[in-house]
Amino acid sequence: MNLPVLNLESLQLYAILDLGYVKPDNVEKMSRALLDGGADVLQLRAKGFPPAEVERFARLMLPLTRDAGVPLVINDHPAVAAAVSSEGVHVGQDDFTIAETRTIVGESCFVGKSTHSVAQARAALAEGADYIGFGPLYATGTKPDYIPVGLGDIATVNRLAAVPVFCIGGINQARLPEIIAAGAHRVVVVSAFLLADDVAREVRQLKAALGEMKTGRGLQAH
């Protein structure tokens, strides 16, 4: 099915299919598991793979995400996002600017940006990012060179942002209470999902816990 009119504000649980954890032959299987569990958005991250391979993975995933009504985000490769007409693209601090990215993907593709400090968050918001990633909150094998930013600035960044803020980096169900208590409204999960014995169940349980914690604190998506 086609996606309904996309409301980024409604997305709370962001899953990343990272080829650092997932074998290329398992891209479809893992995509199905993440979607079956209830991920609200799914990103393809394929560091070190040539663009043609990234596009091949994206084309395997796109029918599954479309059928689930979930936006597909391509990490680092605006040209691939444009080629496959994905709903979103994500860029880092050392990648294209938001404006440069939009010239490649067009206005119908939303653009997110990674940020690792309050200053970077302010800059990404000023650039016009449709959403920002903020982290890593904890040390993570996905980005071992990044110093964890901790939980102290989550509330500040959320107050600054008129667009969704997705906290990322070492997030799992055990850490979720302190992350939500620190002011997070949305989270990105990578290894806790991809390394789970039952991926769909892990996604389902964390999503349920996220909803319960937000409801318990009277938090509304903003």
Contact 106, 82 (CB under 8 A): yes
Torsion of CA 183, 208, 175, 121, to 10 degrees: -40
Question: Which is it for the CA torsion 211, 213, 219, 221, positive or negative?
Answer: negative
214 is catalytic: no
Catalytic residue (one of 86, 102, 113, 114) = 114
Catalytic residue (one of 102, 113, 143, 186) = 143
Label residue 219 exposed, middle or buried (CB < 10 Å: 0-12, 13-18, 19+).
middle
End-to-end CA gap in the chain: 27
- How many secondary structure helices (H) and strands (E) does the chain include? 9, 8
Phi, psi angles (nearest 5°) of residue 16: -120, 125
Catalytic residue (one of 45, 113, 186, 207) = 45
Helix ranges, the chain (H): 27-37, 51-68, 78-84, 98-105, 118-127, 154-160, 176-181, 191-194, 199-216
23 is catalytic: no
32 is catalytic: no
- Two tokens, residue 30: 């893992």
Catalytic positions? 45, 114, 143
